[in-house]
């Protein structure tokens, strides 16, 4: 039913494979990069409001885009009641996010789709690494005193190093929001450089905590400083703030990624996290990446969605596409 459309969005036939982006080496601290940086709130709001309306993705094309979205999900559990068994179940879901009968109906081979990563607390890194062995799915660990990011700096560095030692190949760090709120950009840069060094070969995602740093100008400046200091990804939120990922905030951040690319030639990834729980919202973020940054940013090397319940809604939409009926959420457990 969906063989052509689904494979076109997953493999993009007719186009050469996109090479994995190089690590971001960072650049020397230069406050001149922030000179004149202003954000037009009204213009941002108008642009963000059009993302779900200007481009229609329906039927087979929508199903294909949703298959692609699954491959960009950082399947996440960050709850106080997490257990080793829950993490193991999450990893099993990451390996096989869709039932084989759905994949077959969509023209896809069995087990051809998997999530972009599994994201857990440090305590469960070894469990996740063991459960995902042989799958090629990376383990991401939240670190640096997640979610508040207020631990002593030396403890943050030790936490990063320990997660990397345990097998995490991606580290989601939390910046100190006070540096942003007080405009102490040198301190933010220095902190991020230390985090980047502690990660070694592991990719580092800088969580800005956008709901806490309040203004779009702060978000733009913090995004640029973190990229200058070596962040491989910039990420909106911890998922624990009162306001998490929004299209307005995300638009500002991806525009900064575009600016950094123009200045350095380095491609930086983007991860919205918190509040992305429906297939419709995932499509809006995919459209944002495609229109603002280009086709390369629809790949998991440069785009991730931090989510837990999103996968269940995507499964429901795909089952509806195949059968014409919506199933209950409890038929698509995540963990």
Confirm whether 14 is domain-assigned. Answer: no
pLDDT at 19: 63
At residue 57, does pLDDT exceed 90? Answer: no
Tell me the pLDDT band of 335, cut-offs 50, 70 and 90.
very low
Helix (H) or strand (E) holding 242: none
Mean pLDDT of the region 220-231: 98
State the pTM of this model.
0.92
Q: Does the pLDDT at position 333 exceed 80? A: no
Handedness of CA 178, 204, 302, 114 (dihedral sign): negative
C-alpha count within 13 angstroms, C-beta hemisphere, residue 319: 18
Amino acid 234: pLDDT: 98
d(CA 158, CA 151): 11
Residue 180 located in a structural domain: yes
- The CA-CA-CA angle for residues 138, 142, 144, to 5°, reads 135
What is the mean pLDDT of the segment spanning 104-124? Answer: 95
Q: What pLDDT, on a 0 to 100 scale, did the predictor assign at position 13?
A: 36
Per-residue pLDDT at 8 exceeds 60: no
Q: Which residues are catalytic?
A: 172, 235, 271
User: Which tokens sit at 67?
Assistant: 């298959």
Q: State the pLDDT confidence band at 328, using cuts at 50, 70 and 90.
A: confident
Task: Assign 18 a pLDDT band (cuts: 50, 70, 90).
Answer: low
- pLDDT at 21 > cutoff 90: no
Q: How many residues does the chain have?
A: 335
Mean of the per-residue pLDDT values of the chain:
91
- At residue 248, does pLDDT exceed 90? yes
Q: Which H or E element spans position 236? A: none
Residue with tokens 């491959």: 71
Average pLDDT over residues 20-43: 92
Contact 265, 22 (CB under 8 A): no
Match 């709850």 to its residue by tokens. Answer: 79
3-class secondary-structure state, position 174: strand
Q: What is the pLDDT of residues 250-275, one digit of tens each?
A: 999 999 999 999 999 999 999 999 98
pLDDT band at 52 (very low <50, low <70, confident <90, very high): confident
22 domain residue, yes or no:
no
Q: What phi, psi does 308 have (nearest 5°)?
A: -125, -50
Q: Which two tokens stand for residue 311?
A: 């996968």
For 166-245, where are the alpha helices, taking DSSP H only? Answer: 177-181, 185-199, 210-213, 216-228
Query: How confident is the model at residue 22, as a pLDDT?
Result: 84
Handedness of CA 52, 71, 233, 126 (dihedral sign): positive
**Quick one: how far is CA 272 from the chain centroid?**
5
The pLDDT tens digits of the residues spanning 61-89 come to 999 999 999 999 999 999 999 999 999 99
Q: What is the pLDDT of residue 27?
A: 98
| Mean pLDDT to the nearest integer, 37-43 | 93
Residues of the domain holding 138:
3-7+43-331
Quick: pLDDT tens for 181-203.
999 999 999 999 999 999 999 99
In a domain, 132, yes or no: yes
| Res 329: pLDDT | 72
Q: What is the pLDDT of residues 153-169, one digit of tens each?
A: 999 999 999 999 999 99
CB-based contact 90:129 (threshold 8 Å)? no
Q: Is residue 19 assigned to a domain? A: no
Domain with residue 115: its CATH number is 3.20.20.70
Judge whether residue 236 has pLDDT over 70: yes
Q: 45 or 54: whose pLDDT is higher? A: 45
Tell me, yes or no, whether 21 lies in a domain. no
Specify the number of domains making up the chain: 1
Distances 294 to 68, 251, 276, 286, 299 between C-alpha atoms, Å: 15, 14, 21, 10, 10
| Amino acid 334: pLDDT | 64
Instruction: Look at residue 30 and tell me if it is in a domain.
Output: no
Cα–Cα distance for residue pair 271/166, rounded to 1 Å: 23
* 29 domain residue, yes or no: no
Task: Answer yes or no: is pLDDT of 15 > 90.
Answer: no
Helix (H, G, I), strand (E, B) or coil at 159: helix
- Say which residues have a Cβ less than 8 Å from residue 262's Cβ, sequence separation at least 6: none
């Amino acid at each position: 039913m969906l063989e052509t459309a689904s494979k076109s969005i997953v493999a993009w036939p007719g186009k050469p494979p996109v090479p994995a982006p190089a690590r971001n080496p960072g650049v020397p601290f230069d406050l001149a990069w922030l000179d004149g940086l202003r954000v037009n709130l009204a213009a941002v709001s108008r642009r963000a409001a059009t993302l779900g309306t200007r481009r229609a993705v329906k039927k087979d094309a929508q199903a294909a885009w949703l298959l692609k979205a699954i491959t960009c999900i950082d399947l996440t559990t960050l709850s106080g009641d997490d257990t080793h068994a829950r993490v193991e179940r999450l990893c099993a879901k990451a390996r096989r996010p869709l039932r084989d009968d759905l994949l077959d109906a969509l023209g896809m081979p069995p087990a051809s789709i998997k999530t972009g990563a599994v994201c857990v607390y440090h305590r469960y890194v070894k469990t996740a690494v063991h459960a995902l062995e042989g799958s090629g799915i990376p383990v991401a660990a939240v670190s640096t005193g997640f979610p508040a990011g207020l631990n002593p700096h030396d403890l943050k560095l030790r936490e990063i190093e320990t997660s990397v030692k345990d097998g995490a190949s991606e580290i989601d760090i939390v910046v100190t929001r006070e540096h942003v709120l007080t405009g102490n950009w040198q301190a933010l840069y220095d902190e991020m450089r230390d985090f980047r060094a502690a990660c070694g070969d592991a990719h580092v995602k800088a969580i800005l905590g956008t709901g806490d740093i309040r203004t779009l100008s702060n978000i733009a400046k913090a995004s640029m400083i973190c990229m200058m200091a070596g962040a491989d990804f910039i990420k909106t939120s911890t998922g624990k703030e009162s306001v998490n990922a929004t299209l307005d905030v995300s638009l500002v951040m991806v525009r900064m990624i575009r600016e950094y690319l123009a200045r350095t030639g380095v491609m930086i990834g983007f991860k919205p996290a918190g509040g992305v729980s429906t297939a419709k919202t995932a499509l809006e973020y995919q459209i944002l990446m495609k229109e603002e940054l280009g086709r390369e940013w629809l790949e998991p090397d440069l785009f991730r969605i931090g989510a837990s319940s999103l996968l269940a809604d995507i499964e429901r939409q795909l089952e509806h596409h195949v059968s014409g009926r919506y199933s209950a959420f409890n038929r698509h457990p995540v963990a």
